[in-house]
Amino acid sequence: MTGVDDKQWEESRRRLRRSYRHLVNTIEELDDWEREDAIGAPMAILAHSAKHLGAIHHALHRVR
């Protein structure tokens, strides 16, 4: 397990927030929810992100 200092942790959190906001904006801008190819990538990213956020959540509880 690798540690990070406070500055690195805050930068990671900022990058995560930016990525999340970009994903939400992309999904909100979709105008054709009938086309599978238009929503497939954002939904895959959302599911993949949820997996990683769950792992982060689990790791934080183990650290505390």
By residue range, what is the domain housing residue 15? 6-63
Residue 48 lies in a domain: yes
Give the residue among 29, 52, 53 at the shortest CA–CA distance from 41: 29
In angstroms, rounded to a whole number, what is the distance separating the alpha carbons of residues 45 and 23? 8
What was the pLDDT predicted at 14? 92
In angstroms, rounded to a whole number, what is the distance separating the alpha carbons of residues 44 and 4? 29
pLDDT at 64 over 80: no
For 12-53, what is each residue's pLDDT tens digit? 889 988 988 888 888 788 777 677 666 777 778 888 888 888
Residue 1 lies in a domain: no
The domain tally of the chain equals 1
Give, to the nearest 10 degrees, the angle between helix 6-29 and helix 36-63.
160
For 26-37, what is each residue's pLDDT tens digit? 878 877 767 766
What was the pLDDT predicted at 9? 84
Show Cβ contacts of residue 54 under 8 Å, excluding neighbours closer than 6 positions: none
In angstroms, rounded to a whole number, what is the distance separating the alpha carbons of residues 20 and 29? 14
